[in-house]
Amino acid sequence: MVGQLSCRVPTDWFLDPSMCWFEWQTLVSAMLALLAAFIGALFLNRQIIQSERHERARVSRRYRASRRTLRLALHDVDEFAQASIYSLEAAYNAFVATGSDLADCDFEIPKLSELAQQRLSAILETSDDPSVISLVDSILNEIQVVLARMNSLRTRRARRGLVGISGNFCFCIIRCAALHAMSDGLFSYARQRSETAPISVSWDEVESVLDMLQLYPQDYPELFKLLEVRRQMHPSVWTANA
């Protein structure tokens, strides 16, 4: 009689291993299933890592492309702000001179291309720098505010006297100059001379924009008086995450 272990496997199993496979087939099947699952998990994990690597590379390529085209968007924003200021200035002068209905003034509302706004939005989607995201987001918001303000002025009829209407013109001009200054603050980043955006934009930078466009205190005292009031109310035009 052949002796057996307690697990019913012959003591001389090495002479005939088939008995082991028969007696342990459930355990062997389970072990093979575990091995297959482990190998499958390894391949799946490798695919996930590879997919994540490809996604990071795609986002990185898009970010580099977005950053290189950002300067074009900022140039368009500056031109939009300048054209808006010139248009508002002409309408303001006509209104102050005549007190006429705003509809009779030469007041065209400039347009900013959709492409420029898309390029700014692409930075929001691809950048992970909080200062850049905050400034770009504020620029997009400021564009909407400026357009809304100008549309309001364009459709509103002037009442008797200059109280309110002329102040709204001045306020719009200041907002456009602020938009220009905020856009200028991103140029170093767009040109890859800096890896981050400024954390604030000062009123001095807004005043520099007005000076560049030849709007001087002696010619527009009401405008610069309002600018000084805004300076006293707010330490800066814009501050990151404010």
What span, in angstroms and rounded, lies between the C-alpha atoms of 204 and 84? 20
pLDDT tens, per residue, the chain with 242 residues: 444 444 555 555 555 556 566 666 677 778 888 888 888 888 888 888 877 777 777 777 888 888 989 999 999 999 999 999 999 998 888 877 776 655 555 578 899 999 999 999 999 988 889 999 999 999 999 999 999 888 888 776 544 344 467 788 899 999 999 999 999 999 999 998 988 999 899 999 999 999 999 999 999 999 999 999 999 999 899 887 64
Which secondary structure element, helix H or strand E, spans residue 239, and what is its range?
strand 238-239
Cβ-contact 174, 213 below 8 angstroms: no
88 to 12, 63, 69, 176, 206: CA distances (angstroms): 103, 36, 29, 10, 16
Cβ-contact 237, 209 below 8 angstroms: no
Name residue, tokens 């808006």.
Answer: 84
Give the pair of three-digit tokens for residue 21.
């496979």
Write down the domain spans for the chain. 69-239
